[in-house]
Amino acid sequence: MTYKVLATVNHKSLDKKNIKQFKSGALAVAVEKASNGNDFVKHIKSTFFSSTKNQVIAKTIDKAVKDVSSGNITHAWVECPNVKINKILFIKQPDNKAELRKWVEMFTRMVSLANAHNEKELSIHLNDSIISNPFENLVEVAARTVESSSYKFNQTKNKTVKKLPLSKVTFTSFQLSASESRNTSAAVKKGYAIGEGMNATKFLGDLPANHCTPRIIESKAKQLKKIFPKLKIKSLNEKQLAQLKMGSYLSVARGSIEPPRMIIIEYNGGPKNVAPAVLVGKGITFDTGGISLKPSGKMDEMKWDMGGAASVFGVMACAENRPSSKATKPGDVVTSMSGQTIEILNTDAEGRLVLCDALTYVKRYKPKYVIDIATLTGACVVALGQHASGLMSNDQKLADNILAAGENTFDRAWQLPLWDEYQSCTKTNFADLANIGGSGAGTITAACFLSRFAEDFKWAHLDIAGTAWVTSPKKGSTGRPVPLLTEMVLSSK
């Protein structure tokens, strides 16, 4: 599915000639430290505020720039009556040594301030410090940020819907060459698309579990074919999963009246002689823990246990984990698609049970690499909190590329070890593998389990339990790790 919030996000290249025709409801200008403005601001002043009657506005602009650049205030609005630009927002810009996080916060704040002022249209000026930034993809990140930060969930509201007013963002540049202008437009287009992907992930995650079952996800995924006809989309139902001998996967869904679905989305846009990248997402649409029932506090947040599946074009391993008289019991032994038997010591360690069969399934693609994405362990939240996703891999080059993609997009991951010493955690007297280890290193032992099904290809595991959503007061999905995954796939590493 797609989920576009802003109607348009585009780029307009301005010069000394066409600036006279420039119109904007609101214009946002980033102000550098100790700056007296830039050429763009000077031309805005000379074009629109040079007459005697507008001298007061010109002086107000000068004061706003001075106050913001000196750090006296973080932003300032200047009202501009009777001209083509209704108002200008001056906002403090991070210095060039700042982390990418600071830039993301600035663009997010621009959108927030525009909505607070009930603006429907916003122009954001890309100054030289943004276009020629050490972060070469900053324009892309800016476009991604304005789209993703415009998201607001209203789907299941009737009486309390509050739609944000902002619907159009135009990034402006000044005096760029033709090639620079084309590159800037391409970066804006790409960032807008990534932001839309983040919002689609957010929307699927934020839907209540009764509005987002495996079959509903299946339906939404198949609708993508109408928008993107080059996609090949299929799904496997309960009977087909059984025919493939996915006993591990099916054991998770036994307790629920909602049947499982494994949805496969393929895009074959690369060269025929290049092996495909494969993404596998955990899609537990609601996780009660099964017979190993979770505590009731915050159990509502288990609707986000499908965040891995929501973030991928690839294999979406969807099921619901609930207790019933038919549910899998602790101590039951099942046979996975790989032929390995698994003793299920804890039914709340279910994500790895659907993922292991999905990993076995994707072997048929002879992949360049496989990345599985899962809200897998509470231990990862304890270890890394909400800022970094946990990364484990059987190939260091693949891990390095993922880490670099995270740094480049401010969607960061942190690598944890996958040493042989941890592998003993999967031993049991009654099957080939146990689905849980001891009490320590829960994130690593979960990855150790999955690694037993990924020995035939380069593989990495992203545990997004701490990064897929945030809790109160700003409860909601984050859209991560869509930026990281997109960077990884598009970089063709």
Q: Tokens 């698994």 correspond to what residue?
A: 342
427 by DSSP, 3-state: which? coil
Distances (CA, A) of 464 to 10, 174, 311, 377, 452: 31, 40, 11, 8, 20
Bridge partners of 432, per DSSP, are: none
Closest listed residue to residue 285, CA positions, set 313, 312, 252, 315: 252
d(CA 274, CA 271): 6
**Residues 6+ positions from 166 with CB-CB distance below 8 Å:** 6, 111, 114, 115, 119, 120, 121, 122, 150
155: which 2 tokens?
A: 């789907």
- Give yes or no: 352 in active site: yes
Tell me which of 84, 190, 245, 294 is the catalytic residue: 294
CA 113 to chain centre: 23
- Give yes or no: 92 in active site: no
Tell me which of 202, 254, 322, 352 is the catalytic residue: 352
d(CA 376, CA 416): 14
* CB atoms closer than 10 angstroms to residue 223: 12
Closest listed residue to residue 116, CA positions, set 24, 8, 26: 26
Closest listed residue to residue 308, CA positions, set 467, 141, 190: 467
208: which 2 tokens?
A: 């209540």
33: which 2 tokens?
A: 């430290």
What residues are labeled active site? 294, 352
